[in-house]
Structure 1
Amino acid sequence: MQPDQAPSLYDRLGGVYNIATVVDDLIDRVMSDPRLNKNPAVDEAHHRVSPAGFKFLVTEMVCWAGGGPQQYSGRPMGDSHRHLSITEDEWDSFMDDLHQSLAKFQVPPAEESELVAIVESTKDAIVVVPPLGAGPPNQ
């Protein structure tokens, strides 16, 4: 870091250990959230993937996106989520889980806003919007 350069989000969050702690809590919330698991495809995915592996990839992604030295090694968001038919309501439930985890660890407002913006940048690749006139996705 250059002397006149502001610290990265990664550094302001305290690095990989602090990020991993928040991600650990978030993924535990997400994987047991009945609002998300009412979607059969999401429920099946939550029982098929290893929680530890999921936590690793999310930690890696947040660290990378926050300016840390990690490189995200997972699949693109669309490839890993599109088949789950995630709805707008399910996205909102996920975001609620995220806000609960950030509040639990007292992430400061500025850093919370930056993290939320990073997560929001993935929404278009994750949420499936049904074609006009098609009605809501099957649940």
Structure 2
Amino acid sequence: MSTPSTASLYERLGGVYAIAAVVDAFIDRIMVNPKLNANPLVDEAHHRVPKAGFKYLVTEMVCMATGGPQRYTGKSMADSHRHLKITPAEWDVFAQDFKAVLDQFKVPEREQQELFELVGTTRGDIVMEEAPSARKAG
């Protein structure tokens, strides 16, 4: 058993069941967010993939990234997001939804900060830094 000071982020978050509950609420929230679905490519993806499978893969990923025993079996972040042409503004909306769900589940600030650091490492694979006008032309 780990002590609180040596416990992994996975352990401090409560393990797979607690992480799955947060992912469940988060995916439900982002799948219907009108600001995210204003991007027609995101909207199409949100309606193409079954929510249950999406939630499963995100749970795997979060568990693995936070030190749990699970192994992520999905596509790379670049392969699963490159075609969606996600803008920095859309990333910010995603982050706001993530923060709201973490607050809803009363995730402590230290753990929230660590989660945002982990999520931040994926930004370069997910966000297109081009101007919105370039996105429409492409």
- For the criterion TM > 0.5, the same-fold answer is yes
Moved over 2 A (4+): none
Q: Secondary structure at the match of 2:6?
A: coil
- Residue equivalent to 1:70: 70
User: Structure 2 counterpart of 1:89, which letter?
Assistant: A
Gaps of 5+ in 1: none
- Residue equivalent to 1:138: 136
TM-superposition CA deviations, 1:29-69 (whole Å, max 9, x none): 11000010000000000000010000000000000000000
1:136 CA displacement: 4.6
CA-based RMSD of the aligned residues comes to 1.9
The residue correspondences of 1:74-89 to structure 2 (distance < 5 A) are: 74-89=74-89
- Residue equivalent to 2:48: 48
User: Structure 1 counterpart of 2:96, which letter?
Assistant: D
Q: TM-score, normalised by structure 2?
A: 0.93
Shift in alpha-carbon separation, 1:75–1:113, aligned structure 2, 3 A: same
Shift in alpha-carbon separation, 1:40–1:15, aligned structure 2, 3 A: same
- Residue equivalent to 1:35: 35
1:26 matches 2:26? yes
1:135 CA displacement: 4.0
1:129 CA displacement: 1.5
The residue correspondences of 1:9-24 to structure 2 (distance < 5 A) are: 9-24=9-24
User: In 2, Cα distance between the equivalents of 1:138 and 1:43?
Assistant: 15
User: Structure 2 counterpart of 1:118, which letter?
Assistant: L
Aligned length: 137
Identity %: 55
User: In 2, Cα distance between the equivalents of 1:136 and 1:87?
Assistant: 11
- Residue equivalent to 1:127: 127
Gaps of 5+ in 2: none
Instruction: Compare the two structures and name the one with the higher helix fraction.
Output: 2
User: In 1, Cα distance between the equivalents of 2:46 and 2:94?
Assistant: 13
- Residue equivalent to 1:99: 99
